[in-house]
Structure 1
Amino acid sequence: MTNRIHALLRKLIVEVRLLPGRALSEKEIAALLHVSKTPVREAIIRLAEEGFVTVVPQGGTYIAPIDVQRYMEACFIRFKLEEGAVVEAAKRHSLEDIARLKTSLAQQRAAAEGEQFTDFFLLDEEFHRTIFAAARLPGAWSVVNQAKGEMDRMRHLKRVFAVRRTEKVIEEHENIVAAIESGDVDRAREAVQSHLGSLESKILELSKNPKIWTYIEQINTRVIKKRVSRGSQLPA
């Protein structure tokens, strides 16, 4: 039950359906889900450890602000681990792995053509998970998936603000699959680097989307004001 509640709350936070600064009540969540407060408390503790919520002693529990530093750290972790995974996939893939990746590409095209962008996001996730499976490193994807929560929050913000590069993403995915299938390690590394970008490119990307940057600043400022008005302090 704790795992289910954690997964649900994490999904709502990552998809920016629970906004930064919103209070979380163990009692209300437990009543809504018809469970005891214990699994809810345990799920919130896990979310706090992941940086998604902030627990203020005697002041309540709140959805954490969007943290650009944590976003950059998540990008770094993903870049390094996925580059290694693509290299291993080029060396160790099977015909079944390539078939699964190509099926995913076809599904991504269908979702893009139908403007099913939420479905496209999920298919994108499955595509990258399949790369780690082809590398025979499925556990490494679990590490990436947990680390990239702030990255996913930013990706969903882009979706909200209609910042999309769907066609380009599919083209880059095609290049990655072709490189893995060829067994060319250098080509595979270059393909995934081109797809994921760099820390510098992510900063530049944010600067080119002032609406997102302004939204982050506004909502984080609102969180700070709420904390101050309650007489609490932000954690160091």
Structure 2
Amino acid sequence: MKDFPPLDSGRGPTVTDQIFGLLYDRVVNLTLPPGAKLSEIEVAAQMGVSRQPVRDAFYRLSQLGFIQIRPQRATTVTPISEEAVLQAYFIRTALEESCIRVATERLTDDHFDALAHLLDLQAREIEAGNRTGFHALDDQFHHDICAYAGLEFVWTLVKENKGHMDRARYLSLSYGADTAFAEHGQILDALRRRDAGAAVAAIRQHLSRIEGIIARLRVDQPQVFG
């Protein structure tokens, strides 16, 4: 099992939230791949906490379908579910298409400049081959559009539902980051022109790539699917 760092006991997220967040990220970025075993006792010991917050974090992850808890047997990371990925895609597309329409009306030149700066940072991460860094900036790009439009709650809903989609997308970044980056540029260009139709079309095309990603992963890495 992968080593886990001690937790920061200072002010901030609760212990359970910190454990959940760390495990969530490691499932999404495949540091904890499908089939990986997790021990409540070992995680608690490595992170310097009691077993209860670990148990609570495990339960939250199991509710998302990320891990399977079986009494008297090992807790394991679940395979990627194609059905769960496509459900997340449906929810995310509906939410972000609605948000992008509002964004075309509300975003300012300062907002556009800030988004352009994010694209510059994304380009650097691609050049450095840093999938984790690019993934974080990808999320920030989508988050900031929602936030600048005054609809940050939309991103909260997206984030609650997109985890399964992220697992598949992360695997694709080794060959698909350049495409994702180019599509971010198309989204920003449509926003700058305040062309709602073009912005919706761009975000729809961007998110729909998940279907092609699944098809390719089915061939290249079939072992990650259930």
**Separation in 2 of the partners of 1:34 and 1:16?**
24
Q: Determine whether 1:177 maps to 2:188.
A: yes
Unpaired segments ≥5 residues, structure 2: 1-14
TM-score, normalisation: structure 1: 0.83
Q: How many residues align?
A: 211
1:32 matched residue in structure 2: 46
Unpaired segments ≥5 residues, structure 1: 221-236
Select 1:138's aligned residue among 149, 152, 161. 152
2:198 matched residue in structure 1: 187
The percentage of counterpart residues that share the same residue type is 33
TM-score, normalisation: structure 2: 0.86
Pick closer, same or farther for the CA change 1:169–1:23 going to 2, 3 Å.
Answer: closer
**Separation in 2 of the partners of 1:167 and 1:157?**
14
Pick closer, same or farther for the CA change 1:204–1:127 going to 2, 3 Å.
Answer: closer
Deviations 1:171-219 (A, max 9, x none): 211111121122221121112122222xxx644443344112x2235xx
1:71 Cα deviation after fit? 0.8
Q: Determine whether 1:206 maps to 2:214.
A: yes
1:103 matched residue in structure 2: 117
Once the two structures are superposed, the pairs formed by residues 117-156 of structure 1 within 5 Å of their partners are 117-156=131-170
1:52 matched residue in structure 2: 66
Q: Determine whether 1:66 maps to 2:77.
A: no
Aligned to 2:31, what secondary structure does the other structure show? coil
Pick closer, same or farther for the CA change 1:208–1:12 going to 2, 3 Å.
Answer: closer
Query: Structure 2: which amino acid aligns with 1:2?
Result: T
Query: Structure 1: which amino acid aligns with 2:71?
Result: P
Once the two structures are superposed, the pairs formed by residues 209-228 of structure 1 within 5 Å of their partners are 209=217, 210-212=219-221, 214-217=222-225, 220=226
Q: Specify the structure having the higher radius of gyration (Cα).
A: 1
1:69 Cα deviation after fit? 0.6
1:223 matched residue in structure 2: none
Conserved 8 A contact 2:168-2:213 = no
1:233 matched residue in structure 2: none
